[in-house]
Structure 1
């Protein structure tokens, strides 16, 4: 390695200087911190060997092309029949950090840079992660009459170069010897090296062996022939299980000839989070580049896992990830189209398989469909939505209802679903991810469909009026209810509506609108004089509890002549309405539920003689009429 050391007194003030380099520190930086794992040492060795084979085949198309690896736990030897190195190449390429044969035509290695796996000329230093010494013996195929040359380097940054007798390395090519660093012997065992070689090099187009065991497994799974489409799907599923540990719901062919990309996308059989980092396996000209490629697919396609080989994508400096550039952006868009086209194809040819896929990954597909009317139209009969008729597709729901009503929040849907269904109004829960946007796009992909938002104010306006003559009997109930619930910032109304099984309806503060006030409400507000008469018209939003006059319990509560029992019953109805609407309960709501439940339970279990108004009420510790 070339080191220029300039001592202070000899330095001219206006003369350019050369950086001083701490070789030990630089070797440590490159071999321990550039790469994520020691396992990459074998990839770098394979990469250099395959690049050497590629270069020799340019000049000698019929030259032998094989790589042989031997490992015994203390050392490793890898031999290739590639282009080899001259003594000048060794000094220039191995001894100068940052110099790469793949970008330096001055040394006779002129093959286009894209034909090589390596691009940065520092990969050999990765071997110092596991080795204390690296010995390279090479003979050049370009000058076969020159003797072989040896380059021996140590992890302290020192190296030596010498020529060898011709018989020590008689044929062109290169052999790299590694001597294990103490504590790293496990990385140089036969089994570990074979596993790593197959992981990194299974798609390399050369004869590569560890001892006598083959490494490559060609043709690639997506290029193999099968007797039937079913047999091919089964073979791809088995391959997916061996790589990713699952049998896919479907496998999607990926073929982009313009960027030399071929591969398969497998659909995960369980729900995954969009934030989960995808485990895509990307090979670069046959060599595994990464098992965790980011940004390979659009965000909506988080439910597939890819394995592919490409010629055109550019790796990062560590060659463990893809560089984010225009080429990757174009590939990402094209792969997204391939997944989209497969979904449309399943809709036309295999709806059963599509149904199984959407049952698990409908959110990801909905994310695509909100920006793609074509895929929304194609998948409309299969995309599931929560509705008042159960879990249905929008297509089926629109056939059942003249108007497709929807809510914008889950809370509104829970509050209004029972009321809407009882009135024959079809309602879609638009509060789930992407649901509202897709419902609003429905008229564009299904002409003639009418879509309308349904909020709590609209529903309140549709609730039936009270029967004639019912209002006076409700005045006392409303007065007590308004007083009790004022502390909860909740107004009270009484209507007659369906279903009759629902005694009370709780409407959120943000969407509840005050409806027409009944005469009973006006008289109750005036009688109790609490200022509540004007409360519904305050600017601050207030929730609303709508009691159902059709429910027998509400009518019985209106006949009570015990204000305390009436107040307890109102609190119980309020709490039950909160639970029915699945509202998040505040501490004050929990306290109200506990208080009303225990008070009603206490009254239910008291003997008749101990109820309010009886002599037993004045027993010690229980004053008459005490409301507990």
Structure 2
């Protein structure tokens, strides 16, 4: 570029970007950035970096950043470090270069304070702009003239030196002219909204001016969690209001997140309703006061799915798009430390505010159980509080273990719901381990309470706990029991007679994991070809069989036992078997469905063809 006399306007040099600009814009809009909205962030970022450099050069300099939007254009003015003509050529026209260069008093000396250490800066504005005009004056070079950089989306740009009156003070103003189809992104209300969203916590005063010249503050510092409040209650109210504005819910509780060593400060809001562990929560993350993302899913441990966090950090690294956190060793360490902080909060509640802890666990016991699986100390601490569904109702394991020397558990909710009323009536301690994490925690219980025995519920344990029938009564029903066993033997099911409560339950179907595996193996063998039939046949074991326990206290069982017709007795037993299977909510095999249909039709046949007078007996 030809040199220019200071204070005189020069003819512009016409140049081309050292990149394919059209390809770059397509890359930005379709592959790097999730939305064109990020152009406002880039404008704010460049302005903040410029004034940060200016303060490093001249701490007494007056600092301001002013954003304006009207008539399809957006401009941002700052009193920052500015650029010289050579810097404009070098830094604004080449992708990958950083404007944070210079000598001892240049931008490099304040590099750690900058937001834009990654990315491509001003060129990102081409996602919404057809033309970008920059008017800048350097504060590093005394007497330097203002310089204009004018670029178009066809890849060309011009640089010229302007008269002194074009910009009398150091700093930079950037003007954007909307490209066709992008006007909505430059509407004043939209620009102001985006500026507040991205820049409310930035360290400098930023204002927005509308078309009428009315200026309103964009920044709102300090962050709500760092402000001073007259009382703890007023702080809780302020944080709850912030959570409602940001996330749309009123928090059940709040957890301060403060890691000074890692440069992380913020707050976690406890969700007021249960949420699935599979749900990926999005956390709001700021980088040096600039909003990075609302969807940082890797900020907290996976088990902390019951909170949504807002943090500001100066140590974590953004991705290339600056729309998420880069998952590196630093983030892993911060994530672990934030997890420790949430765990400490739980410990503090257990020690000092059990009522709040109980309210929290009523909603989020699943998250605490997830954490307790890997934290023996926390599990022991939470033992009196974590609720489990048991045959004694919803109680903590500590209370339940005190009432039962041996704890049995079922692996499915359906199995528990079938056995629970009977177990409760006969003093059998059963825990429903069909819910997420419960089986793992029960397995850990003996290590914490050495005197407690935990075993999976099996048919033999339940049958042994039920009241036996007298030998005389069982001998009197020997013929009936023989018929029942003969009918159910093809279904790999034994028959037992017991007396148990409640009386309304005529029969109880019991099996265990080994019996289920054997039933599945037999079913697979029935449907296999000859090769697999031989293989599955060789796997036949001596596993215990399923068991149908008939309730001698139930009047229906006694009436069936007294039927004179052996075929009718067999059909009734098959009906009891099918009804007990349905009550256990186990999946029916084809043979079971066939049995149910046959028994149902058999009873209908008997009911419609037998003597009516006999039916009344």
TM-score range for the pair, normalised by the shorter chain length: 0.7 to 0.9
Does residue 326 (structure 1) correspond to residue 329 (structure 2)? The answer is: yes
Cα distance between partner residues in 2 of 1:610 and 1:183? 88
The alignment yields a C-alpha RMSD, in angstroms, of 2.8
Q: Which residue of 1 aligns with 2:38?
A: 40
1:547 aligns with 2:547: no
Instruction: Note the 1:587-598 alignment, pairs <5 A.
Output: 589=592, 592-593=595-596, 596-597=599-600
Tell me the alpha carbon deviations over residues 108-158 of structure 1, each in whole angstroms, 9 at most, x when there is no partner: 421343211011351212111111011111101111411111111111111
* 1:361 is aligned to 2:364: yes
Residue 105 of structure 1 deviates from its aligned partner by: 6.0
**Partners of 2:580 and 2:515 in 1: how far apart?**
15
Quick check: 1:412–1:455 contact (8 Å CA) kept in 2?
A: no
Q: Which secondary structure state, in structure 2, belongs to the residue aligned with residue 138 of structure 1?
A: strand
Compared CA separation, residues 205 and 112, structure 1 to 2 (3 A):
closer
Corresponding residue for residue 159 of structure 1: 157
Q: Secondary structure at 1:469's aligned position in 2?
A: helix
2:528 matched to which residue of 1? none
Q: Which residue is equivalent to 1:269?
A: 272
Q: Distance in 1 between matches of 2:104 and 2:589?
A: 76
1:193 alignment partner, one of 183, 191, 194: 191
Partner of 2:139: 141
Query: For residues 491 and 50 of structure 1, what CA distance do their matches in structure 2 show?
Result: 80
What is the Cα deviation at residue 336 of structure 1?
0.4
Deviations 1:408-453 (A, max 9, x none): 4445434543343232122212232221222233344446545444
Q: Which residue of 2 aligns with 1:525?
A: none
Q: C-alpha distance in 2, partners of 1:103/1:596?
A: 88
Contact 2:132 2:174 in 1 (8 A): yes
Q: CA 1:442–1:510 in 2, change beyond 3 Å: closer, same or farther? A: closer
- Work out whether 1:403 is the aligned partner of 2:401: no
CA contact (8 A) 2:53 2:110 kept: no
Measured after TM superposition, the shift of residue 326 of structure 1 is 1.0
Which residue of 200, 203, 213 corresponds with 1:202? 200
After TM superposition, the score normalised by the length of structure 2 is: 0.86
Spell out the pairing of 1:90-109 with structure 2 (5 A cutoff).
90-102=88-100, 108-109=106-107
Displacement of 1:87: 0.9
Asked if the contact 1:84–1:141 (Cα under 8 Å) also holds between the matched residues in 2, the reply is yes
Cα contact 2:28–2:127 (8 A) shared by 1:
no
Would the aligned equivalents of 2:467 and 2:499 in 1 still touch at CA under 8 Å? Answer: yes
| Residues 105 and 259 of structure 1: CA distance in aligned 2, closer, same or farther (over 3 Å) | farther
> Partners of 1:341 and 1:284 in 2: how far apart?
25
Which position in structure 1 is the counterpart of 2:54? Answer: 56
Instruction: Give the Cα–Cα distance (whole angstroms) in 1 for the partners of residues 330 and 119 of structure 2.
Output: 23
Name the counterpart of 2:380: 377
Residue 484 of structure 1: how far off its partner (Å): 3.4
Task: Provide the rounded CA distance (Å) in 2 between the counterparts of 1:456 and 1:85.
Answer: 83
2:255 is equivalent to residue 252 of structure 1: yes
Matches of 1:153 and 1:586, distance apart in 2: 74
Change (3 A) 1:497 1:609: closer
C-alpha separation in 2, matches of 1:393 and 1:203: 44
1:84 corresponds to which of 78, 82, 85? 82
Match of 1:470 in 2: 473
Deviations 1:243-291 (A, max 9, x none): 0000011100000000111100001111212222212000001000010
Count residues in correspondence.
574
For 1:145-190, what per-residue CA distance to the aligned partner results, in whole angstroms no more than 9, with x for missing partners? Answer: 1111111111111111111111011111110000001111111111
Distance 1:20 1:184, change over 3 A: closer
The answer on whether the counterparts of 2:507 and 2:549 sit within 8 Å (CA) in structure 1 is yes
Aligned to 2:301: 298
Q: Choose 601-610 or 112-121, whichever is displaced more.
A: 601-610
TM-score of the pair, normalised by structure 1: 0.85
Secondary structure at 2:50 match in 1: helix
Shift of 1:590: 5.0
CA distance in 1, matches of 2:450, 2:110: 55
Rounded to whole Å, the distance in 2 between the matches of 1:595 and 1:73 is: 81
Structure 1 distance, partners of 2:324, 2:314, is: 14
Looking at structure 1, the residues matched to 297 and 108 of structure 2 have their Cα atoms a distance apart, in angstroms, of 32
The partner residue of 1:435 within 435, 438, 463 is 438
Residues 389-428 of structure 1 mapped to structure 2, 5 A cutoff: 389-428=392-431
Q: Paired residue for 1:173? A: 171
Pair 1:124-2:127 in alignment: no
CA shift for structure 1 position 22? 3.3
Specify whether residues 73 and 475 from structure 1 end up closer, same or farther in structure 2 by C-alpha distance, changes over 3 A only: farther
| Superposition deviation, residue 322 in structure 1 | 0.4
Distance change >3 Å, CA 486–CA 399, structure 1 → 2: closer
**CA deviation after TM superposition for structure 1 residue 554, in Å:** 1.7
Instruction: Tell me the SS of whatever aligns to 2:377.
Output: helix
1:541 and 1:512 map into 2 onto residues whose CA distance is: 6
Shift of residue 495, structure 1, vs aligned partner: 3.4
Within 1, Cα distance between the matches of 2:578 and 2:19?
75
Structure 1 counterpart SS, 2:484 = helix
1 or 2 for the larger relative contact order (CA 8 Å, sep ≥6)? 2
Q: Name the CA distance, whole Å, in 1 between partners of 2:103 and 2:575.
A: 86
- Tell me what 2:523 maps to: none
The structural deviation recorded for 1:490 is 2.7
Relative to structure 1, the CA distance from residue 408 to residue 540 in structure 2 (aligned partners, 3 Å threshold; closer, same or farther) is closer
Q: Is 1:349 the equivalent of 2:347?
A: no
Instruction: Identify if the C-alpha distance between structure 1 residues 503 and 495 changes in structure 2 by more than 3 Å, giving closer, same or farther.
Output: same
Q: Secondary structure at the match of 2:43?
A: helix
CA distance in 2, matches of 1:423, 1:209: 74
Q: Give the match for residue 505 of structure 1.
A: 508
Q: Which moved more, 1:161-170 or 1:407-416?
A: 407-416
SS where residue 189 of structure 2 aligns?
helix
Higher mean alpha-carbon deviation, 423-432 vs 279-288, is at: 423-432
Instruction: Find the counterpart in structure 2 of residue 228 from structure 1.
Output: 231
CA contact (8 A) 2:484 2:495 kept: yes
| Structure 2 equivalent of residue 74 of structure 1 | 72
The DSSP-based 3-state class of the residue aligned with 1:111 is helix
Shift in Å at residue 231 of structure 1?
1.5
Cα deviation for residue 345 of structure 1 reads 1.3
On the 8 A contact 1:80/1:174 being kept in 2, the answer is yes
